[in-house]
Amino acid sequence: MIVTLIVICEVGFWVLLAGGLSLRYLARMPRTGAAVLLLEPVLELILLIATAVDLKNGAHADWKHGLAAVYIGFSVGLGHSTIKWVDQRFAHRFAGGPPPVQPPKYGTARTVHEWKTAGKWVLAAVVAMGLLQAAIWYVGSGDISSLRTWQSKMLWVIGINVVIALSYTIWPKEPKAVESPESDAPDLIKRR
């Protein structure tokens, strides 16, 4: 039941997103579109309640409950930026909006962008770990190894994202140097 509900929530996320943006830009009903988009967190709340009820009714805490916690965590950490990303592209494609904002490519601006992105992933992983820990406490005794496994996976997510952002800090990406046309000429020509 939990896996089915996760799939329903994911499909519901995209249906609400498409519906909200269609109302906002195609039907020219921005308030109604915003109201539909605000229903997105309701999906995560439903999933959280269903998971808690399933555990309360004596279900064995397994990978499905961990996946539900991770899904909710990632919705919290990355949901807003995903909606913003899709909104920019939808507005540009269907409503004559400006081209989507592209992330910076080089230097300090790129480093800051990478740390902000890492922050979103870290937030998602921390929320997931918190929900997993709450489930562990809620279950109390019994086999909670699958929930602990999900927690260790979230530590990997945090570590990988911090390493990526740190690599841009230590080795910032710089634009390629533009070579002058003379640099391709043989040495004899350059001397004249």
Cβ pair 55, 146 in contact under 8 A? no
Q: What is the pTM of this model?
A: 0.83
Residue-level pLDDT at 192: 47
Residue-level pLDDT at 52: 86
Residue-level pLDDT at 121: 97
Give the separation between CA 86 and CA 174, rounded to whole angstroms.
Answer: 28
The residues of the chain scoring below 70 in pLDDT are: 178-192
Residue-level pLDDT at 140: 80
Residue-level pLDDT at 188: 47
Cβ pair 50, 5 in contact under 8 A? yes
Give the separation between CA 92 and CA 86, rounded to whole angstroms.
Answer: 10
